[in-house]
Chains A and B, each alone.
Chain A
Amino acid sequence: MSTLTVDNLNLKGAGSVDNVGRILQVVQTAKTDTFTSSSSSFTDITGLSVSITPSSSSSKVMVIVETNTSTTGGNNAILRLLRGSTAIAVGDSAGSRPQAFAQTRVNDTNAALGSSVNFLDSPNTTSATTYKVQMLSQSGVVGINRTNADSDSATIARTFSSITVMEIRG
């Protein structure tokens, strides 16, 4: 094994190696309570949004979303991530299909399903920027952090969801 030791490494066009890739700030919103919706259009999930003000317009923002969803018997919950009012981290447009980062379907009323997305965004701004998660229900009620039945039982959990953003120096 060899060791490369340098006092300073200058990257062509990017300044010092010390200046790129560094995490400048991290902000997280944790959702510990429950949410349900019967809306068939995308609706904000209360408490699953976060704001960050990038220090430079060249910064990247790493967005990490973790959710736990439940649905009513064999119907779909569809989740999407937005920067402001713009959907990001979505699949390609294809006919009338919703563009989303996740779709879940839980057939068991006592079950929930975890979904996550990691997306490296380039917001190109130094203004406060809000990222949020929306959900729609194909039919019936969709839930966050709970099962559909939400039975009061030692084997049926309440769960946790979160949205985390990290500003990364560009």
Chain B
Amino acid sequence: MDLHKAIRAIHTSVVTINGDTEKTIVATDKDNKEVTVDWTKVNAWKDPNEYQYKRAEDYPSIVDQLDEIYHNGIDSWKTKIKAIKDKHPKG
């Protein structure tokens, strides 16, 4: 899980976050005051955009997608893109 993103979603006053784990992370607000993180809520948070990141990671480059369309047509391209969408469904 992206702890930084989860903390920002739960604690909207957070401006900076440093560190990578529950033990090391320090979050501060606009006045550079440390914000106490509610780890129960943070650890329970689900990123609503996670599927987008995973799809973006798997999609071929635009160049390769255009090449696919040129050589094999739109339907072949749609089949390949749909496979990635199905692999990482919304929600």
By the criterion CB–CB under 8 Å, are B54 and A151 in contact?
Answer: yes
In this complex, what residue of A is CB-closest to B19?
A: A33
Judge if A156 is at the interface, Cβ distance under 8 Å: yes
**Residues from 25 to 51 in A contacting B, C-beta threshold 8 Å:** 33-39, 43, 46-47
Q: How many A residues, CB 8 Å from partner?
A: 24
**Residues from 1 to 25 in B contacting A, C-beta threshold 8 Å:** 1-2, 4-5, 8, 14-20, 24
Contact residue among A43, A47, A143, A149 (Cβ-Cβ distance under 8 Å from B53): A149
By the criterion CB–CB under 8 Å, are B18 and A150 in contact?
Answer: no
How far apart sit A36 and B54, CA to CA, in the bound complex (Å)? 21
Judge if A18 is at the interface, Cβ distance under 8 Å: no
By the criterion CB–CB under 8 Å, are B2 and A39 in contact?
Answer: no
Q: A33-B24, A39-B30 are in contact. Are A47 and B18 (CB under 8 A)?
A: yes
How far apart sit A141 and B12, CA to CA, in the bound complex (Å)? 12
By the criterion CB–CB under 8 Å, are B19 and A34 in contact?
Answer: yes
By the criterion CB–CB under 8 Å, are A34 and B20 in contact?
Answer: yes
Contact residue among B17, B52, B56, B57 (Cβ-Cβ distance under 8 Å from A35): B17
Contact residue among B1, B16, B20, B52 (Cβ-Cβ distance under 8 Å from A37): B16
Judge if B37 is at the interface, Cβ distance under 8 Å: no
Q: How many B residues, CB 8 Å from partner?
A: 21
Rounded to whole Å, the gap between the CB of A34 and the closest CB of chain B is 6
> Hey, which chain A residues are within 8 Å of B52, CB to CB?
109
> Hey, which chain A residues are within 8 Å of B30, CB to CB?
39
How far apart sit A146 and B19, CA to CA, in the bound complex (Å)? 11
In this complex, what residue of A is CB-closest to B30?
A: A39
A-side residues, CB < 8 A to B, are 33-39, 43, 46-47, 108-110, 141, 143, 146, 149-153, 155-156, 158
The 8 closest A-B pairs by CB, nearest first: A46-B18, A149-B53, A37-B16, A150-B2, A36-B4, A35-B18, A151-B53, A36-B17
B-side residues, CB < 8 A to A, are 1-2, 4-5, 8, 14-20, 24, 26, 30, 49, 52-54, 56-57
